[in-house]
Structures are given as structure tokens and as C-alpha cells.
Structure 1
Amino acid sequence: MLTLSRRDILTGGAATLAAVAVGGYAGARAQAADLLLPVTETAHALRPDVVTGGMMTFGDRGPPPVLRLRQGQPYVVDVVNRLREATVVHWHGLRLANAMDGVPYLTQAPIEPGQRFRYTLTSPDAGTFWYHPHCNTLEQMARGLTGLLIVDEAEDPGFDVDLPLNIRDFRLGADGQFVEFYRLRNAARGGTLGTQSTVNWQTEPLHDLPAGGLVRLRLVMTDMTRVGTYDLEGGESRVIALDSHPLADPLPAAGLMLAPGQRADVALRIPDTEGQEVTLTLRTDRGPRLMARFRATGRSLGRALAELAPLPANPVAGPDLSRAETLDFVFGWSPEGDGAASGICGSLGKSFWSINRVAWDGDTPGPMDPLATLRLGGSYILRLRNETPNAHPIHLHGLSFRLLRSNRRALPPLVTDTALLLSQETMEVALVADNPGNWAFHCHVIEHQKTGLTGYLRVA
């Protein structure tokens, strides 16, 4: 685990920052990386008729690549920063070593322009994940830095096609160029919605898929703000996993509510008739918004959903509820409302939100005290109380937790890393603190995250 103190940064200066930023790379040069992943500026046609400039991506051009790992096997990524500002990469949902988690100052120094950092990713879990920066997070994500990451099961689950879907908005004006990424009055409420919905950086894409085939759709919500309800219509379908973890009892793929950071794996049987379509839509006040189409092509493969065996459960330890300690976390307004620190990794300059009445002081050297310290190997119940009129998708790095109960609704027996906390909801979740380190704990509405609704838990 790497934690930089304020004194480390101030006394060491640029040399200390540079040495630590390449620390994940130095000493491992003899081993070839599985992937060289540059972070670059780019331009792309998010709409069919215009190219949007000022974008950012992972890779050389176009949408960020879908990374594929094997469960339990190490995967080495050399991230090279070709931007004109600092960045880091966080691997959302992966339970990995703390030094690889990608949170500035909490686990590593920012990767400065021209520097590189070596991440070694070894996931005990299979499923659908994603990756994004945790430095100048709002602007970098808004410009395009959200990519998908798949950890394949040890055995082939039997689909004909595996189709990851990066679902997110961009904030574009009538000319197809970026407008302001946020408005402070919205940051103090539900957040600033995008204006252009995309799937894999395309508007209403059409995918040709084998008629009568079985497709694994991986819906990944990489948006900064939107909590949406999605419907899949025109074929047989069922939700088989949520937030990377298989469901013992599949759910209907209609009325599926997903918040920023959440994921859903859907088993879809494509219709038998060539040309017939399945649609993915988002519910809005103006009616369904078409997100993507899936068209049957060729002669029917004649597959059936019943052919699919349940996905194997991931090896997440079960908490001992009879001995679990309960910890309380209150998500509310900031007690001050102003004065958030600025730093290398940016700030919106305001503190609207807090956890346990403490607003995050910004991504600066010398992180604040942890919200709580958990004993390594101990079982805990986290009582999450939202006292605000807005929903908050609460994400915990490095650990997975089980939903237990809510004062507002029945909860499925789900294992997750990102739970949507409704307005005025109190939710209890349980976990085993089995991964040592400092783990960020925050709302995944990025405007909320960057205006105070962030902290961290220490497992030691």
C-alpha cells in the first residue's frame, strides 16, 4: 500500500512525484507488458454528421478499447500519459492490490504528462468491469475517458456473441462540440445531465447478430450523472449478472434501473427471422429513447436460453452476521458549502456534500483521515443513510459487499461494489474486510464526488 504524506510531496518536490509515479513501472522493465495503453487527445464523430474535437481516449484513436483478462491470471498494463495534464487509471469493481487501484495520493502519485505507470491486474472475480481516471475526473471522463474491462470465466459460458456496451452521454451543443461539463447549481442537486446519448461512442448503433443465437449483452453505465431505466424489447432476455456478480435467480430485462458505475449482463436470444430487431431503450419524460438496435441476420441457429448453465459464483467471502460490527455512514449536505481544496487533480471549488458531516478536501497530498478503520478479516455491516433529496450510487473500491435490507424497498440478495441509495433511504450492506489498504468510498455522480461526497475506508 502506498500513501503519500503532505510532507513527502512538499519536501521531495518534483523528483519525489516523478519517482513514485513511475514506481509501478520501474523495476519491472524486464517483463513485457500485456498492453501498452496511452492516454491521448482525439476527435471523433459522436454524431453521424459532425466530428467532436477536444476529446480524450485510451489508445491511439477512437473509443477506448475493451480490455479482456482471464480470471485469476495477472495482466500487466503500462499506462502512458500523452495528455497535457496529470491522470491516473482506476479499475472500477476489480478487487486487486491497493497499490494498483489508481487513486491519486491515496494509492499512487498522479501520472504526469510524459510519465508512465505499470498496473498489474489480477482479478479473483469474473464479470463485467470498467476503467476511468480518478484525476481531474469530471473533465477527463466527460471528454471520453471511460473504457470497458471484461474478466472471462475459466470455462466458456456458451454464448454465440459477447457484446460489451459502453453507455454514456456527452454534453454537446447544436454544433456537435462540447459545452460546459457541469453547472454548479446542478452539482448541488442531482447533477448535470448530458445532451447526447451514445453506445460505444455511437448514436443509435445497429448491430447485426446471428438469428436464433445467444448473445451476452454487457450493459455498462459509464456516465457521470444519469440514473436511468432501460428496456430490452423484441427478443427473449434475462439479466444473469449485476455489477459483475452472477444472479442465482435471473431477472427480467425490462424496467432495469442502472446508475453510474453499475453494470448488467443480459442473456439475449435473437429472433429467428432475418431482419427482425431487438431494441434497447431508455425511459424518459418524453417517451422511450432509442439507444441501440440488434438485428437478426442469416439462418436461425435455433438456440434456446435454457441451454445456458448458470454463471459460476465469484469467490467473495461471506460475512459472519452474528459477529459483524455495524458502522454508520450518513450521506448529506456539506456543513460548510464552500472552500474545497484545489490540486493537481482538480476541484470544482465547492463543497456541497459530505459523509458523516465531513466533506472531502480534494485530491491533494496527505489524504484526510479514514472514515473508519476495519480490522483485516473482520465482518462488518455498513449502515448507509441518505438524508438528501437526491439519489447517490455509492461505490466502494477494492471490496465487494452484500445487500441486506432497506427501509424503502425489498433488496435482491446481490453482491456488488456500487449500490444506488435512494433519497431518504437507509440501506444495510455487509462485507468481509479481506483486502488491506486505503479504499476510496464515494458517490459515482462525479459532480457529487468532486464536491465533497468522498472519503475512504482503511482495512488494516
Structure 2
Amino acid sequence: MDRRQFLLGTAGAGALAAGGYGLWRAADGERAGAGPVELRVRETSYRFGADRPETAGLVSLADGAPPPVLRLKQGQPAHLRLVNGLTDYTTMHWHGIRLPNAMDGVPYLTQFPVGEGEAFDYLFTPPDAGTYWYHPHCMTMRQMAQGLTGILVVEEAEDMGFDADVPLNLKDFRLGDDGQLLPYFTPRGAARGGTLGNVLTTNWQVSPVEDVPAGGLVRLRLAATDTARIYQLVLPDVPGRIIAWDGHPVREEVPWPTADAPLALSPGQRVDVALRMPDADGIELAVVARLGFGQQDMVRLRTVGASLGRDMREVPVLPANPLPVPDLAKAEMQELVFGWTPDGSGADNGLCGNFGYSFWSIDRTPWPGDAVEGVGPVATLKLGRSYVLRLRNESPNAHPIHLHGLVFTPLRSNRRTLPANPTDTVLLQRNEVIDVALVADNPGDWAFHCHVIEHQKTGLAGYVRVV
């Protein structure tokens, strides 16, 4: 499909954009007026600490600041107008949101890339409350490495009664001694676990301090938005529990992470945590990332004010999202194999940042590139039917596997016990086989890929068709 054919096919969506939808703004929680909310992608600069030089060449939706937290309301329409202020092409994907296929932001699969000075209107009504995030799906590696990742919160229809709601965007950057960005892609990293950053940030700050009410109930929303890093997190030793995983309220308990058993949060995944803060003013508690060379406080929570005297028994049970339930008795099994591709040569085509290497594959076939014609789906599912997908990792590296547009539930693993909590991203460990169940309830062509972006861009990608 060429550009003219694509735009003619989406004329109806453009007409719908004139209707006017609202967005809940992150800054003040007030309802936006009629019409779209503009999200303009632009280059900017930022200082990652007072003792660091200013870093140029970053990409955000704000000047001199990280991409904002976007807040929507469950069941209420949103109209987000992406305006491209870069010379690069771009799109925007709303990670984890079950939305119409045409709004999913995947170049050539659901829309044409957005060029310099162009705009695209994303219109959807989020059916599920929870913590999600957004990032480009064109020039993905470059723009994400430059900072274009942000948290998207879909608020429950009713207030959940927390005293503080704290979104935490975990994101690393590769910076030189001069503070400038280092190359974001390395063939060596792409052929292994991915290229890691050397400056770990939370909301673009190094070990920031967040003030929260003493004696209060705090909801932390942690999102791993890196291109490669798998976080090993230790949470504060205070009363608390994990209340949601990848956007959805937990159905089975997730163990509280400790220094001996940290919580693995891989690229694309999110976790919501409820904490009861200490009663005294000025107490600091850390969320700690365990690293190969030591550890780092990703954020410090500092109590302020007189104690609110809350109790963990007051933490609400989050209302279940309206997810379809797979019928396992009638579910059809399909196996997908994730592996290495030894030849190392690949296509370099399209407008969205292929690297000319193929190191990875699905079903032993590497993704040839975003704009290659005649590439079929890795699986075709019938609308409304239940399926079990067997995800088999035949490679020596871990892969966070993400499926767009649908939600699945882990059933079993050959290596560990997995809580049966709905998700859109599962970390497939070395030589692991995981069975997941889903209902093919959302028609369209849905991207299916590893969220280590270098793996995605060097072959470990495809799409699932629901018809």
C-alpha cells in the first residue's frame, strides 16, 4: 500500500477527528475543553543533575522536560493529536491499551509514518483502568533512546482513595563524560541482551526524592520504559502489597520483593504498588535497583506533615477490568518459537529505522523490515475464539514479549511458577517455554515482538492477525 492509498483508506478517521474529545491532563487533573489535545514531538535539552553538563539532542513532548504523564479516564473518549516537530518520521504507540487497530501507531501495519510537520489524530476510548505508557513505533530505537517514553494513566471511574499517586518512569540513557548522547545501537548489544545505558533515571532524574504524606497510603506506578534494561527492584520494608501488574488488578498475589528475591521488571512492564508510609515526618524510604556493579536508589520517598493515620486494611480492591475470559476447554494451541538467526545480514528499508542486521527470529524467520510487502502474520486467530499460545525461547537471552491490542494470561512455565495475572508483556527467560491464554476479541493486525528494541529491529518481530 502506498501513501496515497493509505490516506484514502483512512479518510473516515480524519473526519471523526473533528468531533472533539477530551483528555485528563496530568498537571492539574482538569477536564480539557472540546477538541484534540496536541502532543508535539520536539528535540530538547536537559541537565540530568546540577553537577552534570546539559545534554542536547533529547526528544520529548515538552521543552527542557521529560514527556508528561498523560491521564485519561476509563470509558471516556480521548483525542490525542500527535504533531511531528522532528526531521525524523515518527508514530505513537499506546502500550497496553486495548484500542481500535487503526489507532495502534505501528507504521505500515496500522498507519503511514508521520513526517516532519505532519500530524495524526489518535482517537480511542480506554476500556481498562491502570498504568500504561506511550512511545514511538517508528525510528523506535533512536527516539526512545533519546527519551521519548512517557507514562499513561487510565484512572478508575471512581476515586480509589489513595493519599498520593506517584508515577515513576524508569529510563536509562547512554551519556559520555561530556554529557552528550553516545551511540544508541551497537551490533554486539543487539546480538546479545541489548545495549544498556549508563545513567539510570526516574522521571529523568537521578535518585529523585518524592514527598508523600506521613502515615498515608501511597500508590506507586512503576514503568520500565528502557530499550533493553531488565530492572531487579527491591521495595521499601514497610507494609505494602502489589495491587496491579501491567495495568490490570492482580488476581493472584505477587510476592513482595526483597534483597534476596528482587522483582524483575523488563522493558514494557509496569507494576502498581500500595505502601503505608511511616508516621513520622522526614523519613526516607528507597526503591532500589540491584545492578551488576552494585545498586542504586531509583527514587526516595520522603514523608511530610502530620501522620494521616491510614491503615493497609483501607487499601481498596481495584475493580476488575472488563477482560474476556478464555475458554480453556475449547482453546486451540499455537506454538511460536523465538530464536537466534546466525547469518547476521538483514534488510534495511522503509522510513522507520532498520539497522541492516538480522540476529533474531520468530519461527526461525527474521522480520524483514517494516515496509516489506507480502509478509504474512506469525499466527491467524479467529475473532471471538480462545487460544493458548506456546511461547518457546530457543535462544540464550531473555526476551520481554509484547502483544499489541490483546491481553493474555500466563498458564504455565517449564522453569518457574507464574501468577495468572492478565498482561500484555511477559518476560521469556533463557530456554523457557510459557503457555499463555487469550481471547481473540479485537480484530486487526497486531504487532508481536520483543521489547528489547534492538532485538525487535534485528528480526524478533511479527504480527498476529485477528479476523
Note whether the superposition's TM-score is higher than 0.5.
yes
Q: Which residue of 1 aligns with 2:35?
A: 33
Asked whether the 8 Å contact 1:238–1:253 carries over to 2, the reply is no
Asked whether the 8 Å contact 1:141–1:224 carries over to 2, the reply is yes
1:414 is the counterpart of 2:421: yes
Q: Could you list the per-position Cα deviations for residues 16-49 of structure 1 after superposition, in whole angstroms to 9, with x for gaps in the alignment? A: 5666788744553353434111011111112323
Q: Which residue of 2 aligns with 1:206?
A: 209
The 3-state SS of whatever aligns with 1:175 is: coil
1:384 to 375, 378, 391: 391
Per-residue deviation at 1:226?
0.6
Q: Could you list the per-position Cα deviations for residues 46-95 of structure 1 after superposition, in whole angstroms to 9, with x for gaps in the alignment? A: 23232110000023441111111111111110111111111000000000
Asked whether the 8 Å contact 1:58–1:147 carries over to 2, the reply is no
Change (3 A) 1:165 1:212: same
- For the residues of structure 2 that align with 1:148 and 1:203, how far apart are their CA atoms? 18
Q: Which residue of 1 aligns with 2:30?
A: none
Mapping of residues 115-264 of structure 1, within 5 Å: 115-251=118-254, 252-254=256-258, 255-264=262-271
Asked whether the 8 Å contact 1:237–1:253 carries over to 2, the reply is no
Tell me the number of residue pairs that the alignment of Structure 1 and Structure 2 aligns: 449
Q: What amino acid is the match of 1:241?
A: A
Mapping of residues 74-89 of structure 1, within 5 Å: 74-89=77-92
Q: Which residue of 2 aligns with 1:268?
A: 275
Q: Which residue of 2 aligns with 1:306?
A: 313
1:326 is the counterpart of 2:315: no
Per-residue deviation at 1:211?
0.5
- For the residues of structure 1 that align with 2:251 and 2:462, how far apart are their CA atoms? 32
The 3-state SS of whatever aligns with 2:127 is: coil
Per-residue deviation at 1:342?
2.2
Q: Bigger shift: 52-61 or 37-46? A: 52-61
Per-residue deviation at 1:260?
0.2
2:458 to 443, 451, 459: 451
Change (3 A) 1:457 1:313: same
Asked whether the 8 Å contact 1:221–1:262 carries over to 2, the reply is yes
Q: Bigger shift: 312-321 or 450-459? A: 312-321
Asked whether the 8 Å contact 2:341–2:366 carries over to 1, the reply is yes
The 3-state SS of whatever aligns with 2:454 is: helix
Structure 1 unmatched runs, 5+: none
Q: Which residue of 1 aligns with 2:59?
A: 56
- For the residues of structure 1 that align with 2:71 and 2:16, how far apart are their CA atoms? 25
Per-residue deviation at 1:157?
1.1
Q: Could you list the per-position Cα deviations for residues 310-365 of structure 1 after superposition, in whole angstroms to 9, with x for gaps in the alignment? A: 11111111111111110010000126420223221111110000000111111215
Q: Could you list the per-position Cα deviations for residues 120-156 of structure 1 after superposition, in whole angstroms to 9, with x for gaps in the alignment? A: 1211111000000000100000001001100011111
Q: Which residue of 2 aligns with 1:316?
A: 323
1:98 is the counterpart of 2:97: no
Per-residue deviation at 1:414?
1.1
Asked whether the 8 Å contact 1:130–1:146 carries over to 2, the reply is yes
The 3-state SS of whatever aligns with 1:306 is: helix
Q: Bigger shift: 396-405 or 334-343? A: 334-343
Q: TM-score, normalised by structure 2?
A: 0.93
Asked whether the 8 Å contact 2:344–2:358 carries over to 1, the reply is yes
Q: Could you list the per-position Cα deviations for residues 94-141 of structure 1 after superposition, in whole angstroms to 9, with x for gaps in the alignment? A: 000000000000000001111100001211111000000000100000
Asked whether the 8 Å contact 1:171–1:195 carries over to 2, the reply is yes
Q: Bigger shift: 275-284 or 97-106? A: 275-284
Asked whether the 8 Å contact 1:24–1:117 carries over to 2, the reply is no
